[in-house]
Amino acid sequence: MAAVTPHRRWFLSDHPAPWLLPLVAILVVFAIYPLIYNVWLSFHEYASFRRRVEYVGWANWIQLFNDPRMWSSLTVTFIYFFAALALQLVLGMALALLLDADEPGFGLLRGLLTLTLVIPPAVTGMMFLLMEDPQFGVLSWLLNAVGLLTPATPILATPSLALAGVLLADVWQWTPFMVLIFLAGLRGLPPEPYEAAMLDGASWWTVFTRITLPMMAKVIAVAVLIRGIDLFRVFDYIFVMTSGGPGEATYTLSLYAWQQTFSFIKWGYGATLSLLMLVIVLVMANLFIWLAKVRW
């Protein structure tokens, strides 16, 4: 080891710096710098007459709280968030309990369920757009046939139904995410508590709420955290299915921030809205991590 060049000595040492350097470099250039740029942008605005970006002080941040569209998109985002999370949790747990058995063919069923997870959400949105078409959509036709929907109702153009129409695509695509995680959790549970409960003659419901749920707490917490982070940023389904309409019925924060920047050329206000999202997600996620004691 006589002729070790300086850059090789780095890799021969036991110091973590050279190993972490590429990661830190990418995160600084592509995460920290854009974040700083975004904060700078939120104190500026594009003046379309003079064709330049000008300093506007706190104007964007003040506008944020006096903007009825911001409040309505925040409301829609939270309704979407909680409705989708609740549906996916309950459906996911029900399906996981159903599939948690060594029956023949269940391995295949678990495999089939994973397929929804790898479809581009934009394509999923298109799939449901076709199925929910009022004229020739198979889902509209089915809902008409069972009498749940009057014929030719445009689901995605009816204010009271549009959000449910978009939610359906999300629930379809991501319930299997919950199923797979819960199944892995259920399969890993120890059998002893169940044997003891059987001897005591406990009912199915008691076993589920007193044994299964508490033992699954960590698994459920992780699933809620990861799904929650992704639900709050929902964009793809909305963008391809409704573009936020009808009116503001499906207008979410992500879409609002994106449109302010790229459709209305309000660069500074769009940046401010996206920072608002960032703050809400960081606060909610870290609060949840702390409360649920999730650890990596």
CA distance to 43, 44, 59, 81, 162, per residue, from 53 (Å):
10, 6, 14, 35, 37
CB of 46 to another protein, least distance (A): 10
- Please, which residue, 215 or 222, has the CB nearer to another protein? 222
CB of 203 to another protein, least distance (A): 13
- Please, which residue, 62 or 117, has the CB nearer to another protein? 117
- Please, which residue, 51 or 295, has the CB nearer to another protein? 295
CB of 58 to another protein, least distance (A): 19
- Please, which residue, 160 or 275, has the CB nearer to another protein? 275
Is the distance from CB of 207 to CB of 276 less than 8 angstroms? no
CB of 75 to another protein, least distance (A): 17
CB of 280 to another protein, least distance (A): 9
- Please, which residue, 101 or 160, has the CB nearer to another protein? 101
- Single-letter amino acid code for the residue at 172: W
Tell me how far apart the alpha carbons of residues 232 and 29 are, in angstroms, rounded to a whole number: 25
